[in-house]
């Protein structure tokens, strides 16, 4: 079974939205498993301290290497084969290709950073790979972890209603997804494109491809360039 272990100072944030909709139903059915481990259980002293001031000075606090390492060592078997990730704005940007690769593996170990960051020594010492969900800053890694998990869980066998549901989405073929329409046939003077009502599947496929290419050129020229180079 695909399983995720999340190390966080706020375990009550999980499963959060992953306990609802497709991911939640799949969790209940045992198609995947999730455990949230509280880093603070391995904090130091009476107050379970987990952070300290940054070496060299500066604002904020830093998550201690010894505390996080103790949490990881206690919560994971030495031979755990799952990738160990740290949600971090300086990490490798998450892509659909990465999500598919993660979904095809045994699961994930995810560390949620807080404060100004995590002591670099534990990143090196416990083999954490940094992953980013975008070029912006969050208050902590929990929301980023939920995003990463959702992108993976929905790709697991049996989670989506139809296996093909994920095959034509944005980024799957290097392009943004084509526009969608449904009933009513006309709404506020706007009609469903006639091509989609033609019943001609080859014509519909061509239209969708053209629309995907058009949207990608307009909104994500970087993706369009990559598609042209492929």
Task: For residue 96, give its domain range.
Answer: 2-153
Do 111 and 173 have their domain in common? Answer: no
Do 186 and 131 have their domain in common? Answer: no
Question: Is the Cβ–Cβ distance between 111 and 87 less than 8 Å?
Answer: yes
Span 173-223, pLDDT tens digits: 789 999 999 999 999 999 999 999 999 999 999 999 999 999 999 999 999
Instruction: State the average pLDDT over residues 56-80.
Output: 97
- Extract the tokens encoding 97: 């290709």
Name the domain boundary from 88, 119, 153. 153
Question: Is the Cβ–Cβ distance between 4 and 99 less than 8 Å?
Answer: no
Do 172 and 203 have their domain in common? Answer: yes
Please give the helix or strand (H or E) that residue 32 lies within, else none: strand 32-38
Indicate the average pLDDT of the chain: 94
108 in any annotated domain? yes
Name the domain boundary from 122, 153, 184. 153
For the cut 90, the answer to whether the pLDDT of residue 171 exceeds it is no
Q: What is this structure's pTM? A: 0.90
For the cut 60, the answer to whether the pLDDT of residue 37 exceeds it is yes
Do 87 and 116 have their domain in common? Answer: yes
Name the domain boundary from 127, 153, 179. 153
Q: For the chain, how are helix, strand and coil distributed in percent, rounded to 5? A: 40, 20, 40
161 in any annotated domain? no
Q: How many domains does the chain have?
A: 2
For the cut 90, the answer to whether the pLDDT of residue 229 exceeds it is no
Do 110 and 58 have their domain in common? Answer: yes
For the cut 70, the answer to whether the pLDDT of residue 169 exceeds it is no
160 in any annotated domain? no
Span 70-87, pLDDT tens digits: 999 999 999 999 999 999
159 in any annotated domain? no
Which of 152, 155, 159 shows the shortest CA–CA distance to 24?
A: 159
Helix (H, G, I), strand (E, B) or coil at 192: coil
Q: What is the CATH number of the domain that holds 72?
A: 3.40.1280.10
Please give the helix or strand (H or E) that residue 17 lies within, else none: none
Do 27 and 120 have their domain in common? Answer: yes
Do 141 and 179 have their domain in common? Answer: no
Q: What is the CATH number of the domain that holds 184?
A: 1.10.1270.20
């Amino acid at each position: 079974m695909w399983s995720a272990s999340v190390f966080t100072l706020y375990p009550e944030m999980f499963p959060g939205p992953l306990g609802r909709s497709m991911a939640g139903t799949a969790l209940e059915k045992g198609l995947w498993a999730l455990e949230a481990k509280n880093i603070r259980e391995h904090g130091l002293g009476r107050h379970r301290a987990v952070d300290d001031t940054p070496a060299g000075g500066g604002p904020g606090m830093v998550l201690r290497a010894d505390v996080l390492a103790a949490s990881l060592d206690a919560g994971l078997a030495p031979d755990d084969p799952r990738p160990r990730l740290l949600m971090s704005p300086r990490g490798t940007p998450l892509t659909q290709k990465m999500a598919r690769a993660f979904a095809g593996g045994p699961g994930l170990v995810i560390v949620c950073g807080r404060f100004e960051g995590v002591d670099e020594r534990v990143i090196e010492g416990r083999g954490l790979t940094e992953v980013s969900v975008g070029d912006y800053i969050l208050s902590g890694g929990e929301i980023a972890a939920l995003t990463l998990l959702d992108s993976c869980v929905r790709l697991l066998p049996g989670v989506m209603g139809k296996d093909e549901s994920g095959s034509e989405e944005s980024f799957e073929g290097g392009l943004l997804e084509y526009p969608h329409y449904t009933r009513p046939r006309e709404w506020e003077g706007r009609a469903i494109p006639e091509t989609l009502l033609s019943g001609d599947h080859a014509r519909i496929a061509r239209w969708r491809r053209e629309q995907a290419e058009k949207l990608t050129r307009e909104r994500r020229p970087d993706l369009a360039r990559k598609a042209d180079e492929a």
